[in-house]
Amino acid sequence: MIELTAAEVAALSNGRLSAGTDPATPINVAHIVTDSRDAVPGSMYVAKAGENADGHDFMAAAFAAGAILALAEREVAADDAGTLHPAVIVADAVLAMGALAAEVVRRIRAHSPLTVIGITGSAGKTTTKDLLAGILAPLAPTVAPVGSYNGEVGVPLTVFRAVEATRYLIIEMGATKMGQITYLSSLVNPDIGVVLCVGSAHAGEFGSIDNIAVAKGELVEALPAHGTAILNYDDARVRAMAARANAPVTFFSSADANEASTVPTVQARAVRTTDGHPEFDLGFPGAPDSFPVSSKLLGLHHVTNLLAAATAAHAAGATPADIAASLSTQSAASRYRMERTDRPDGVTVINDAYNANPESMRAALRTLAELGAGGTRRTWAVLGEMLELGEDSVLEHDAVGRVAVRLNISRLIVVGTPARAMHVGAVMEGSWGEESMFVPDAEAAYELLERELAPGDIVLVKSSNGAGLRFLGDRIALPGRPAPAETNEQNSGERTQQP
């Protein structure tokens, strides 16, 4: 357990104690929460103004649940008499969380060996960190993010779960602006940095795909000379980041033969799929033998994630045999990532609606087409909006609709006006009759599927997280489940997840 007093919290965050706050109040950092509903006895509640709500409005609820201290941006009265909730008052609660996280990492490093592994990329971060945690956890105490916690709030929340005995700390890093990964890196000082890919997702925020590459490469620049940069050789923009590294570089590649063989490279050889599951022979630099991997993940695109996890685990000290064995036993650990459900009536539902960009849409559609190869099963693609594509949004949605037609997907259901260009693209590509349909919302899509799905059909549900089709996927997978109620998931609108 790592403990801080209220006075230490104030000193580390350049804050001050509210009137009546006991400076000796002890806080277990594992009990720092940003949602009042997560508060337990002894918690410190972080209150801040967010996108959806103001966390200060929920401070009373947090204290009622057992919180004993708040980290807040203003004082809040505890009762009508004007007594204040005990708090550390700071200028910016998010930055204050970062300062506390940096202190936690410093204390762990002072106590025992710690390897921090940072992972970034336009897609695949969560799956890769899950795979990596699955390899390392049996070897030594390991902490990895819950879900996709990867932003200015999510990274500290991950760090707060670490203790002095933690040997491996896995940090997922997202970004919505330049300098963000540099900041996150400054909190944890990664020893190993993994860059998966640079895609067109969120080009609207960064201005161009080249700017995304600059932002993702900040992780490489943050690595120390004694660290390790792990880069995807098969992505030209990621491969080019080697020039920005002070640390030694190890590449990973799924090509059987290329110039990467002349540099340290972890390779997937003889890549193939069985019922949509990737299989390959895993080779390591200098190792005469390869190791068979037969993954339980769904989709050929996961080869990149499997290779990245293998390379990072090897750099962290895991043996090739242990790595291959672990990768062959792990299933998807986080929800809504090619999550397969086989209904009793023979309908298969693949819920991949946590995130979406043009590259991942194509990958998911290729997997759907492969599963339906032979024509014995109808394939349905239920697709929603890909967010944050900027000025290319219409063209990118149009292109995905055309890809669905070229892959001979049986039925395309486009959900929501922002995604309508997919339907238009499919029609222009040659879809006819009811092969492609546009519906205004998830409820209309659900009603259509309820009427028309038949035993043996395969349904892919995919969209960006904000489009909400993951809930539609749940309803299809479990017929009769009611539509989800609108909830305020996080009181203070914390920024835990970034692209």
- 483: pLDDT confidence band, cut at 50, 70 and 90? low
pLDDT at residue number 1: 87
Residue 498 has pLDDT above 90, yes or no: no
Global confidence as pTM: 0.91
Average pLDDT of the segment spanning 364-371: 95
- 50: pLDDT confidence band, cut at 50, 70 and 90? confident
Mean pLDDT value across the chain: 92
Average pLDDT of the segment spanning 244-267: 81
Average pLDDT of the segment spanning 291-297: 97
Q: Which domains does the chain have, with CATH numbers?
A: 3-91 (3.40.1390.10), 105-327 (3.40.1190.10), 339-477 (3.90.190.20)
Residue 268 has pLDDT above 90, yes or no: yes
Spatial separation of the C-alpha atoms in residues 130 and 280, rounded to whole Å: 19
Spatial separation of the C-alpha atoms in residues 414 and 442, rounded to whole Å: 10
- 264: pLDDT confidence band, cut at 50, 70 and 90? confident
Summarize pLDDT for 387-419 with one digit per residue, the tens.
988 888 999 999 999 999 999 999 999 999 999
- 88: pLDDT confidence band, cut at 50, 70 and 90? very high
Summarize pLDDT for 427-481 with one digit per residue, the tens.
999 877 889 999 999 999 999 999 999 999 999 999 998 898 999 999 999 876 6
Task: List residues bridging with 195 in a β-sheet.
Answer: 120, 231
Summarize pLDDT for 232-242 with one digit per residue, the tens.
999 999 999 99
Residue 45, burial from CB neighbour count under 10 angstroms (0-12, 13-18, 19+)? buried
pLDDT at residue number 493: 46
pLDDT at residue number 388: 83
pLDDT at residue number 255: 79
pLDDT at residue number 486: 43
Spatial contact of 382 and 150, defined as CB atoms under 8 Å apart: no
pLDDT at residue number 49: 84
pLDDT at residue number 212: 93
Spatial separation of the C-alpha atoms in residues 353 and 365, rounded to whole Å: 13
Average pLDDT of the segment spanning 171-178: 93
Residue 489 has pLDDT above 70, yes or no: no
Summarize pLDDT for 7-22 with one digit per residue, the tens.
999 999 999 999 999 9
Average pLDDT of the segment spanning 284-296: 92
Average pLDDT of the segment spanning 206-220: 92
**Given CA atoms 433, 435, 438, 441 in this order, what sign does their dihedral have?**
positive
Residue 87's identity, in one-letter code, is: A
Write the CA distances from 325 to 131, 291, 306, 317, 353, integer angstroms: 12, 9, 12, 15, 29
